[in-house]
Amino acid sequence: MDKKLADDGPTTVTPWSVLLKKENGVTGRETLISSGEITTLEAIKKSGLCYDPRMRFHATLNEVDDHPEDPRRVLRVFDAIRKAGYVSNTPNPTDAFLRLPSREATLEELLRVHTPEMYEKITKTELMSREDLTNLEKISDSLYFNNESAFCARLACGSAIETCAAVVTGKVKNAFAVVRPPGHHAEPHKPGGFCLFNNVSVAARSMLQRFPEKVKRILILDWDVHHGNGTQMAFYDDPNVLYISLHRYEQGRFYPGTVYGRAENCGEGAGLGRTVNIPWPCSGMGDGDYIYAFQRVVMPIAYEFNPDLVIISSGFDAAAGDHIGQCLVTPPAYAHMTQMLMGLADGKVFASLEGGYSLDAISVSALAVAQSLIGVPPSRLHTVYASKHAVETVDMVTEIQSKFWRCMRPKFIPANPENAHVSRLHDIIRSYQAKKLFEDWKITNLPILRDSLSETFANQALCSHDFFQKDVLIILIHEAPLILGDGRKDSNALKPSDSYLVDPVSLYIEWAMQQNFGLIDINIPEVVTGENKPYDMVEETKKLCTYIWDNYIELASAKNIFFIASGKAVEGVINLIASRNVMKNVRCVVNFFGSESLTGLKTASEDDLPGWYFRHSLIFVKSTDECWKKPKKNKRRYGRLIQSEHDSGTSMLEHHYRAVTQYVSHLLKKNDAS
Ligand SMILES: [Zn+2]
C-alpha cells in the first residue's frame, strides 16, 4: 500500500480533509477536522527497518561449529524481506521500508539497564586470547564469544535504540530491527541464553529517558518461546513498563530453567501487576492458542494499560519448524498478533529480533511481521481452536491478573471461607442435599473411616439405607453440581433470585430409588474447606473408589453393579477397574468424560481386561475430543466410545439420562432372561 503511494509520488495523494469535504458536500473553508488531522505526510509515512551485516561477526571460535544462534539468522531474515520487494540492499525511495542506520550503544545507555561489572565483563572479551574465550564460554550460561562479540552486542543494542527512537519521533510509523545477538535473557547483572546486552530493555529505558513527554508507558510483548527473564528483571518494580510474555514453562523445566516465568510472578513494589506471564505447560502450542491468549489476556490488558509505545521482543522460536521451541505458530498468526498490537499506541510498534533457530522458519515468520507492519492484511488462519492447555493456562492467568486489571474481572473472588460469616456454597449445597435425600429417600451418610479420607470426604459419600442387601447397586461418582447465574461484572455478586442449582445427578438418584435399587452417591469436591495441605482431586478420588470397593461394595450382596461417573471422577473408576477384580459383578461402567480428555485403562496388552471393559461400558466423549480425529491404538482399553455433542460432565449427565437408564434396564432384563 505504502509502496504504491510512494510510486505515485506524494503530489497525487488527496488529503483526507479534502476527501471528507467532497463526501460531505462541504465547499466552504470551514475546518472539518480541528485537531489530530491526518496529513498527507502521515498517510505515506513508511515503516523502518534496521539491518547491519556486521552483526554476523559474532560467531563461535571454531567456525565449523554448528550453533543454533547462527550468524546467518539476520541475513536470512533481511533476505526474506528483500526478496519480497519491501527493502533493498542500498536505500531505495520506492521501498516500503525505510532503511534506518545502525550504531553502537553507548556506555551511558547500557548502564541504564546493566551493571558496570557486566559491561566490563563483556567488553573485556574484545582483547581476550582464544584460550581465555574458550574458558569463559565453559563457565557461562549458554554463551559463546569471539573478539567481535562485544562490538556486535553494542551494535545490536544501539541499533535497537535508534530504530525505536525513529518510531517515537515519527520518522517512521513503525519499525523492525533485525539484530543479533538477541537480548531478552540478559539480566541487569549477567548475560545468558545466547544474549549479551538486553537490546529491548535498554531501548525501552532510553525512550523513557530521552522522550519523557512522548513516552510515559511502554508495553513490551515477548512472544519468543522462552521466558525473557532479563527483561522481566529489568522492569519488575517499574510501573511504567508492562512486560507480557508467552512462553513454554513446564513447571520451570524449560529454559531458562527457573520458576521466574511462572504466572504468579506479577511484579513487585510499584511494578506489582506490571508483569504478565502466560506460561505454557507443554510443547506443541499453536495458532489457536496464541490467538486465544491474545484475545483473552494480552489485548484486554494492553488496552487498559494504554501504552505510548509497543515493543515486541520478537523471537521466532515458537514458529512451526523450530526444533528448539517445538511449537506450531505459523506466519499468519505472527501477522495477526502484530496487527492486533498495531491497534495500540497510535500504531507506534517496534519489533526487535530475539531467538528463532530454524533459518527457514524465522525467514517466513519475520516476513509475515514485516508485511503487517507495512499494512498488508494478514492471511487467514487455519487453526482457530485453543487447546485445553491454552484454555487452562489463560484461565489461570486471568484469575491471577484480575487482582490488577479491571478487564480481567470477574474471576478473582475476594471472599475468604475461613471467616466465620463466609461459607463456600458447595458445602451449603451438599448439606442441603444430604438433608433432602434423607427426607425423600432415607439416604444417609456412608461412613469413611480412614484418617486422611474421612477428613476430606465428610458428608460427600451418601448411601441408601439398605444398599447392602440389594441385588442391583448403582454407584454415582461426580463433581459438584453447577450453579448458573448472571454475575455482576464489577463485583462478582450473584443474585440469589436469578441463580439456579443444576444437578442432573438427582435424576439418577430418583430413578434408582423408584426402581428399588441400592445406591451409593459420591460427590467429589474440587477444593476442601478447612484443609491446608495440598489436595489432589484425582488422587483422592482414586483412593476413595478403592476404599469404598474394599469396605462396602465387595462385601455387599449386589450381583449387578453399575458405575456412573462424570468429569474428573472417571479417573477413580478407571483406576478401580485396573486395580480390583471387578469383572464378576460389575455389569456396566458409564463414564461421562465431559471437558476432560479421554483416558483409558493402563494394563498389559495380553490382559483380557480391555476386552471386558469394551463389552461392559458406555463411554461418552465430547465430539471435539482428539480421539475422534485420529483413531486410538488398542482402542478397546478406552471402552465403548460414544460421541456426545455436550462438553461438560453436568450436561452429559443431563442429556444422556434417558439413554443410560434405558440401557441399564435392558441389561437387567437380559440378565433375568438368561
Ligand atoms: Zn528463545
Question: Over 60: is that where the pLDDT of 100 sits?
Answer: yes
Cβ neighbours of residue 428 closer than 8 Å, sequence gap 6 or more: none
Residues 413-434: tens digit of each pLDDT:
667 777 778 888 888 888 888 8
- Strand, coil or helix: 159: helix
| Residue linked to cell 449445597 | 429
Cα–Cα dist 645/620, whole Å: 9
Query: How far, in Å, is the centroid of ligand 1 from the Cα of 79?
Result: 21
Confidence of residue 29 (pLDDT cuts 50, 70, 90): very low
Cα–Cα dist 255/228, whole Å: 10
Confidence of residue 496 (pLDDT cuts 50, 70, 90): confident
Two domains, one topology: 47-58+68-408 and 428-673? no
Query: How far, in Å, is the centroid of ligand 1 from the Cα of 275?
Result: 18
Instruction: Evaluate whether 467 touches 441 at the Cβ level (below 8 Å).
Output: no
Instruction: Evaluate whether 178 touches 77 at the Cβ level (below 8 Å).
Output: yes
Strand (E) positions, 72-201?
97-99, 174-177
Confidence of residue 152 (pLDDT cuts 50, 70, 90): very high
pLDDT for 18 equals 40
Residues 193-206: tens digit of each pLDDT:
999 999 999 999 99
- What is the average pLDDT score of the chain? 88
Instruction: Evaluate whether 266 touches 401 at the Cβ level (below 8 Å).
Output: yes
HSE, side-chain direction, 13 A CA sphere, residue 285: 30
Residues 290-322: tens digit of each pLDDT:
999 999 999 999 999 999 999 999 999 999 999
Question: Over 50: is that where the pLDDT of 17 sits?
Answer: no
pLDDT for 13 equals 38
Fold exhibited by the domain 428-673: Rossmann fold (3.40.50)
Cα–Cα dist 330/361, whole Å: 9
pLDDT for 534 equals 64
Segment 70-88 shows an average pLDDT of: 95
Question: Over 50: is that where the pLDDT of 14 sits?
Answer: no
| Residue that wins the pLDDT comparison between 91 and 52 | 52
- Strand, coil or helix: 583: coil
SS (H, E, C) 192-256: ECCECCCHHHHHHHHHHHHCCCCCCCEEEEECCCCCCHHHHHHCCCCCCEEEEEEEECHHHCCCC
| Residue that wins the pLDDT comparison between 155 and 412 | 155
Segment 13-38 shows an average pLDDT of: 39
Instruction: Evaluate whether 401 touches 408 at the Cβ level (below 8 Å).
Output: yes
Question: Over 70: is that where the pLDDT of 184 sits?
Answer: yes
Query: How far, in Å, is the centroid of ligand 1 from the Cα of 315?
Result: 6
Q: Which of the residue ranges 1-10, 273-282, 432-441, 554-563 would you say has the lowest mean pLDDT?
A: 1-10
Query: How far, in Å, is the centroid of ligand 1 from the Cα of 328?
Result: 14
Instruction: Evaluate whether 195 touches 157 at the Cβ level (below 8 Å).
Output: no
Query: How far, in Å, is the centroid of ligand 1 from the Cα of 293?
Result: 19
Q: Residue 478's Cα: distance from chain center in Å?
A: 28
Confidence of residue 25 (pLDDT cuts 50, 70, 90): very low
C-alpha closest to that of 143 among 181, 111, 188? 181
Question: Over 90: is that where the pLDDT of 232 sits?
Answer: yes
The three cell numbers locating residue 124: 573485556
| Residue that wins the pLDDT comparison between 164 and 93 | 164
Q: Are strands 461-464 and 518-524 parallel, antiparallel or unpaired?
A: antiparallel
> Superfamily assignment of 47-58+68-408 in CATH?
Histone deacetylase domain (3.40.800.20)
SS (H, E, C) 343-407: CCHHHCEEEEECCCCCHHHHHHHHHHHHHHHHCCCCCCCCCCCCCHHHHHHHHHHHHHHCCCCHH
Confidence of residue 38 (pLDDT cuts 50, 70, 90): very low
The catalytic residues are 185
Query: How far, in Å, is the centroid of ligand 1 from the Cα of 167?
Result: 25
Question: Over 80: is that where the pLDDT of 63 sits?
Answer: no
Question: Over 70: is that where the pLDDT of 358 sits?
Answer: yes
Query: How far, in Å, is the centroid of ligand 1 from the Cα of 184?
Result: 8
Confidence of residue 77 (pLDDT cuts 50, 70, 90): very high
Question: Over 90: is that where the pLDDT of 283 sits?
Answer: yes
Question: Over 60: is that where the pLDDT of 84 sits?
Answer: yes
Confidence of residue 411 (pLDDT cuts 50, 70, 90): low
Instruction: Evaluate whether 313 touches 228 at the Cβ level (below 8 Å).
Output: yes
Q: What is the ipTM of this complex?
A: 0.99
Question: Over 50: is that where the pLDDT of 21 sits?
Answer: no
Q: What is the DSSP letter of 319?
A: B
Domains of the chain, residue spans: 1-44, 47-58+68-408, 428-673
Query: How far, in Å, is the centroid of ligand 1 from the Cα of 356?
Result: 6
Residue 537 Rama label (left phi>0; alpha psi -120 to 50; beta): alpha
Residues 609-652: tens digit of each pLDDT:
889 999 999 999 998 888 888 776 678 889 999 999 998 899 99
Confidence of residue 326 (pLDDT cuts 50, 70, 90): very high
pLDDT for 674 equals 63
Q: Which of the residue ranges 102-111, 215-224, 421-430 would you say has the lowest mean pLDDT?
A: 421-430
